[in-house]
Structure 1
Amino acid sequence: MKRVLEPEVMDTWEETIAYDAMDFTEVNQAFVDEAIALGPDSATVLDVGTGPARIPILLCHRRPQWTVTAIDLSHNMLKLGATHVAKAELGDRIRLDYADAKSLPYADASFDLVISNSIIHHLENPLPCLRELRRVLKPQGSLFLRDLVRPEDLAKVERLVQQLGSDYDPHQTQLFRDSLCAAFTLSEIQQMLENAGFAGISAYLSSDRHWTAKQAWQG
Structure 2
Amino acid sequence: MTGQATMLQRQLEDEFSESSEEALTYDKMDHDAVNQAFVDEFLAAVESQGLGPRLHDGVNPLTLVDVGTGTARIPINLARRPLFVKPIVVDASEAMLKLAKLNIYASGLQANIVLKQANAHELPFDDQQFDALMSNSLIHHIPKPSAVFAEMLRVLKPGGLIFVRDLARPESTEGVEELVAKHAAEETEEAQQLFRQSLQAALTVDEVASMLKEQGVDPGLVTMSSDRHWTIAGLVKPV
Match of 2:31 in 1: 24
Which protein shows a greater Rg? 2
Aligned equivalent of 1:152, options 162, 167, 171: 171
Equivalent residue letter for 1:123 = I
Deviation for aligned residue 1:199: 3.0
Query: Judging changes above 3 Å, is the alpha-carbon distance between structure 1 residues 188 and 199 closer, same or farther for their aligned structure 2 residues?
Result: same
Aligned equivalent of 1:117, options 126, 130, 136: 136
| Distance in 2 of aligned mates of 1:194 and 1:102 | 19
Query: In the alignment, does 2:53 pair up with 1:34?
Result: no
Q: Percent sequence identity over matched residues?
A: 43
Q: Let me know the Cα RMSD of the aligned residues.
A: 1.5
Aligned equivalent of 1:15, options 22, 32, 38: 22
Query: Judging changes above 3 Å, is the alpha-carbon distance between structure 1 residues 55 and 197 closer, same or farther for their aligned structure 2 residues?
Result: same
1:107-154, Cα deviation, whole Å (9 max, x unpaired):
011111100111011100111110111111111311101111111010
Unaligned runs of 5+ in 2: 1-7, 56-60
| Distance in 2 of aligned mates of 1:21 and 1:53 | 13
Please, which moves more after superposition, 31-40 or 6-15? 31-40
| Distance in 1 of aligned mates of 2:99 and 2:184 | 26
Q: Is the CA contact (8 Å cut-off) linking 1:131 and 1:197 kept in structure 2? A: no
Paired residues in the alignment total: 218
Please, which moves more after superposition, 61-70 or 1-10? 61-70
Query: In the alignment, does 2:97 pair up with 1:90?
Result: no
| Distance in 1 of aligned mates of 2:30 and 2:87 | 23
Query: Judging changes above 3 Å, is the alpha-carbon distance between structure 1 residues 66 and 181 closer, same or farther for their aligned structure 2 residues?
Result: same
| Distance in 2 of aligned mates of 1:116 and 1:84 | 18
The 5-angstrom pairing of residues 30-109 of structure 1 reads: 30-39=37-46, 40=51, 41=55, 42-109=61-128
Equivalent residue letter for 1:107 = D
SS in 2 for 1:129: helix
Deviation for aligned residue 1:63: 4.2
Q: Is the CA contact (8 Å cut-off) linking 1:148 and 1:210 kept in structure 2? A: yes
Aligned equivalent of 2:9, options 2, 10, 35: 2
Q: Is the CA contact (8 Å cut-off) linking 2:212 and 2:219 kept in structure 1? A: no
TM-score, structure 1 normalization: 0.95
Please, which moves more after superposition, 206-215 or 57-66? 57-66
SS in 1 for 2:80: helix
| Distance in 2 of aligned mates of 1:114 and 1:48 | 7
Q: Is the CA contact (8 Å cut-off) linking 1:203 and 1:213 kept in structure 2? A: yes
TM-score, structure 2 normalization: 0.87
| Distance in 1 of aligned mates of 2:102 and 2:73 | 11
| Distance in 2 of aligned mates of 1:15 and 1:114 | 26
SS in 1 for 2:79: helix
